[in-house]
Homo-oligomer: A and B are copies of this chain.
Amino acid sequence: MEKELFIPLILGTNRKDRKSEAAAKWVFGKLSERDGVEAKYFDVRDFHLPTDDYGTGLASQFPEWQSAMQHADGLIIVTPEYNHGYPGILKSVLDLLLKEYIHKPVSFVGVSAGPWGGTRVIEAMLPVVRELGLAATFTDLNFPKIGSKFDESGELLDTAYESRVTGFLDELLWMSKTLRWGRENVPSRFHQ
């Protein structure tokens, strides 16, 4: 029997009135339902980063995140767009680790208050995740006008997302399986 794919999802904003949480939870539910997938939820708000240090030297202070990425077969990043870029806290959390990410796929869920669906924050993240060794999939999930996408109970009001999330997860799982085979079968100086 094939080993399950382990896929963490991280919600990338700590703003008090964040609307992205509804999108993150909904996508996480869909991810968790997939056969052969073990999912784990992270929230950047739970990372109490120091104000006087930064980077991989702090990794051991966040053992759950480090361990998750060590064992991960893929990653989902749910991020709103702040001034066309990524939230500071999300970058700080990503920069905690390095070799744990190598040769694993990452997929993006972009969120915006306005009409553009976080398209720009996804473009902004591409150089970062590549340098971390992550391979970005090309099938994003975009939530424009997030304020009117979910009802008060967190129910998604737009049925078009059902097929979108299927395609989104299909591609992430394709890449997760493929890169896991590579990590296990093709020698590389990056994993020994």
Q: Which residues of B contact A126 (CB under 8 A)?
A: 126-127, 130
Q: B128, A127: Cβ atoms under 8 Å?
A: no
A142 to B119, CA, bound (A): 13
User: With a CB–CB cut-off of 8 A, which chain B residues contact A83?
Assistant: 94-95, 128, 131-132
Give complex CA distance A45, B189 in Å. Answer: 36
Query: Is A174 an interface position by the 8 A CB rule?
Result: yes
The answer to whether A32 has its CB under 8 Å from any CB of chain B is no
By the criterion of a CB under 8 Å from any partner CB, how many residues of chain A are at the interface? 65
Given contacts A85-B86, A119-B119, A130-B126, contact A53 B14 (CB under 8 A): yes
Contact with B along A116-158 (1 / 0, CB 8 A): 1101100111111011110110100010100000000000000
Interface residues of A in 61-116 (CB under 8 A from B): 82-95, 103, 115-116
* Closest Cβ neighbor of A187 among chain B residues: B174
**CB of A179 closer than 8 Å to a CB of B:** yes
Contacts of A179 in B (CB 8 A): 178, 182
Give A10-54 interface residues, CB cut-off 8 Å to B. 13-16, 45, 47-49, 51-54
Q: Give the residues in chain B near A189, CB-CB below 8 Å.
A: 167, 170
- Given contact pairs A83-B95, A92-B89, A128-B84, A14 touches B52 in the complex (Cβ within 8 A): yes
A177 neighbours in B (Cβ, 8 Å): 182, 186
Q: List 28 A-B contacts (CB under 8 A).
A: A15-B57, A16-B57, A54-B87, A82-B91, A83-B94, A83-B128, A84-B128, A85-B125, A85-B131, A87-B91, A88-B90, A88-B93, A103-B178, A123-B124, A123-B127, A124-B128, A126-B126, A126-B130, A135-B135, A171-B188, A174-B182, A177-B186, A178-B178, A178-B181, A178-B182, A178-B186, A179-B182, A181-B181
